[in-house]
Structure 1
């Protein structure tokens, strides 16, 4: 498995309609650091990738898989929206 982290990060971010600035705010990672990763200037640490992937709504496994991350409606939700959906589904299960 040989993943171009810079290209994949840009592809996932853009597929969700998120700017580098917005990803910075969602992840707590400086926009300049995101730009450096996407430009291939620097290689991200695992911790940095975990923060970015979490903000993008994908797991590290999905990010690094040979298949492109899913672009269905659920995968485009923000982490907060996913949590709200999970709480909603839990209430349905209890009914």
Structure 2
């Protein structure tokens, strides 16, 4: 999947400019424009910020189907909480899950 193309698609659906995406996602305008003008693939933290701005999960972003991916309430809660963790907390949680 072409991440930049998908982001542009989501922006067009909402009528958003690069500036609006930067504002809604908390990213710098240069980060957003470089993603398109220099064809820089977004990093995972950048993609997470973009998805939060659009109100979708990473799974929905990468979903190839026409509709959004369906999640249980527990899964939505887990994804919601995951996006609030810092990098160290995410590593610790993944380590815990891997031991189960």
Taking structure 1 as the reference length, the TM-score comes to 0.63
SS at the partner of 2:9?
A: helix
Alpha carbons 1:6, 1:39 under 8 Å: kept: no
RMSD: 1.7
- Number of residue pairs matched by the alignment: 68
Give 1:12 deviation, angstroms.
0.6
Residue 26 (structure 2) pairs with residue 47 (structure 1): no
Give unmatched runs, 5+ long, in structure 2: 69-100
CA–CA separation in structure 1 for the residues paired with 2:17 and 2:67:
18
Give 1:40 deviation, angstroms.
5.6
Alpha carbons 1:9, 1:38 under 8 Å: kept: no
Q: Which runs of 4+ in 1 moved over 3 A?
A: none
Partner of 1:12: 10
**Larger RCO (alpha carbons 8 Å, 6+ apart):** 1
